[in-house]
């Protein structure tokens, strides 16, 4: 009886140690593929385990046909589009073109369904082909798509000197609605830094072209006006 208890305790400790190894993101050579697969089947909602299994498949061509990886990707994109590992471009490296097209379509659906969820949109930006074209949209049109607009701080020196005016930028809005590649077009030097700091925090609704999310090139004006 005592021997059975000891063996049972040893089994529990062994299982706990293996789970701990997975949770601690140990190197792939120390992971047990079959155990990860079993855990995935037992609890598919465990995105931590899923990421480890994906990593296991990814390394050393353990899944050269992408059979296991694509099954994991497609299920997680549909059920856990916010999962952190889906936001890494490394997740999609060397994916066969036919599977990349399928993944892109899965992400397009998620962008439609989760248009106001930044984590999902950031993951979609990584999952959809990074070579997607950009379209140019007028500043007034894009202004209507703003979700978050942080007001700039008025620089004390500019205020004391009576300086006001407009700072103009050209910017690219990413698939996730965040500002990228902000380039100064014009503006008083004293106003540029606070304007740039504010605009970099702005977020926009995703822009769709023929049902697909695209990057947007637009102009952004930030106005500084002194109150009488």
Assign 216 a pLDDT band (cuts: 50, 70, 90). confident
Nearest to 80 by CA among 115, 51, 41, 116: 51
Assign 137 a pLDDT band (cuts: 50, 70, 90). confident
Q: What is the structure's pLDDT at 129?
A: 54
What predicted TM-score, i.e. pTM, was given to this entire model? 0.49
Is the model's pLDDT at 118 over the cut of 70? yes
CA–CA dist 182, 153 (Å, integer): 18
Query: Which range of residues forms the domain containing residue 54?
Result: 2-127
Q: What is the structure's pLDDT at 128?
A: 73
Of 103, 127, 151, the one marking the end of a domain is 127
How do the residues of the chain divide into helix, strand and coil, expressed in percent and rounded to 5?
Answer: 50, 20, 30
- CATH number of the structural domain spanning residue 196: 3.30.2420.10
- Shared domain for 113 and 191, answered yes or no, is no
Contact (Cβ atoms closer than 8 angstroms) between residue 226 and residue 162: yes
What is the rounded average pLDDT of the residues 58-87?
81
Query: Is the model more confident about 11 or about 226?
Result: 226
DSSP letters, 24-73, are TT--GGGS-HHHHHHHHHH-TT-HHHHHHHHHHHHGGGSSTT-HHHHHHH
Distances (CA, A) of 156 to 58, 151, 165, 192: 54, 15, 15, 13
CA–CA dist 79, 207 (Å, integer): 23
- Shared domain for 147 and 65, answered yes or no, is no
Of 92, 127, 162, the one marking the end of a domain is 127
What is the rounded average pLDDT of the residues 92-105?
82
């Amino acid at each position: 009886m005592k021997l059975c208890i000891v063996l049972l305790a040893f089994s529990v400790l062994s299982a706990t140690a293996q789970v701990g190894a997975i949770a601690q993101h140990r190197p792939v050579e120390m992971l047990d593929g079959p155990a990860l697969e079993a855990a995935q089947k037992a609890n598919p909602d465990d995105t931590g385990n899923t990421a480890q299994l994906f990593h296991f498949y990814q390394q050393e061509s353990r899944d050269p046909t992408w059979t296991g990886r694509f099954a994991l990707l497609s299920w997680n994109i549909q059920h856990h589009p916010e999962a952190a590992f889906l936001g890494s471009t490394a997740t999609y490296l060397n994916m066969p073109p036919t599977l990349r097209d399928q993944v892109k379509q899965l992400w397009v659906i998620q962008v439609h369904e989760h248009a106001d969820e930044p984590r999902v949109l950031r993951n979609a930006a990584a999952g959809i082909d990074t070579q997607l074209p950009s379209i140019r949209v007028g500043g007034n049109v894009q202004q209507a798509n703003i979700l978050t607009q942080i007001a700039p701080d008025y620089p004390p020196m500019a205020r004391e000197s009576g300086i006001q005016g407009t700072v103009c930028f050209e910017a690219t809005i990413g698939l996730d609605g965040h500002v990228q590649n902000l380039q100064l077009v014009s503006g008083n030097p004293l106003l540029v830094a606070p304007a740039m700091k504010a605009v970099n925090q702005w977020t926009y609704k995703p822009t769709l072209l023929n049902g697909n999310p695209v990057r947007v090139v637009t102009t952004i004006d930030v106005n500084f006006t002194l109150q009488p």
